[in-house]
A and B are shown apart, each in its own frame.
Chain A
């Protein structure tokens, strides 16, 4: 079955630097790869979606890359701010299937 791996260790980063998170998956490549943000005690919030034929997607200070050869997505937060502190979830979906498979998430702590 599909495995989705995100770093279990929190990423501590100084304000203003770029935070980079990794999402690795096994087996077959998804049609779509998404990133969500989750704050403590709240539901996940959709951030970005990237398709399998796209290499990179940007939204404001966020950038996502998708490498189907490496079976990996990178999620970047540039000019990080304390308000970016949260857990970030990677999620995969496949053609003809509306379901998402989620990774466990990776916590980011931005230090002022």
Chain B
């Protein structure tokens, strides 16, 4: 199993550009999450999904959009990139089965710089 994969690993965007961060998991997990992590700060939840076709906002959703058309994929869209979106983005998944649904598996992250 590859676990949770994310592409790209690094990206530099100009202000106002858009991009999609890709996330895929091969563990057949129902739950998927997007976080951002700023230096010295904890992980902040952007969006999450409890299954294909169902998404919901987290703590910091402004400036982002998500979709979940399959169990495996959970892309994060940035529209009109701003310097405040410079961060490291992590995708995660969890099984959704009893208490193990709370154990999250993380991807390697995408380091995004907006200039």
Task: Please report A residues at the B interface, Cβ cutoff 8 Å.
Answer: 4, 8, 32, 34, 41-46, 49, 51, 89, 93, 98-105
Contacts and interface: CB of A to CB of B under 8 A. Distances in A.
Contacts of B53: none
B106 A49 contact: no
A8 B42 CA distance: 11
Contacts of B40: 8, 104
Nearest to A1: B59
A4 B59 CA distance: 15
B34 to A, nearest CB: 12
Nearest to B40: A104
> Interface majority SS on A: helix, strand, loop or mixed?
strand
Interface residues of B, number: 26
B94 interface: yes
Contacts, number: 56
A105 B43 CA distance: 9
B61 interface: no
Given A98-B48, A98-B101, A100-B45, A43 B31 contact: no
A45 B50 CA distance: 21
Contacts of A101: 45
B96 interface: yes
B113 to A, nearest CB: 15
Contact of A98 (B90, B102, B108): B102
Interface in B40-83: 40-43, 45, 48, 50, 58
27 contacts: A4-B42, A34-B102, A34-B103, A41-B109, A43-B4, A43-B90, A43-B107, A43-B108, A43-B109, A44-B106, A45-B106, A46-B104, A46-B105, A51-B99, A89-B42, A98-B31, A98-B48, A98-B50, A98-B102, A100-B45, A100-B102, A102-B35, A102-B42, A102-B43, A103-B42, A104-B40, A105-B42
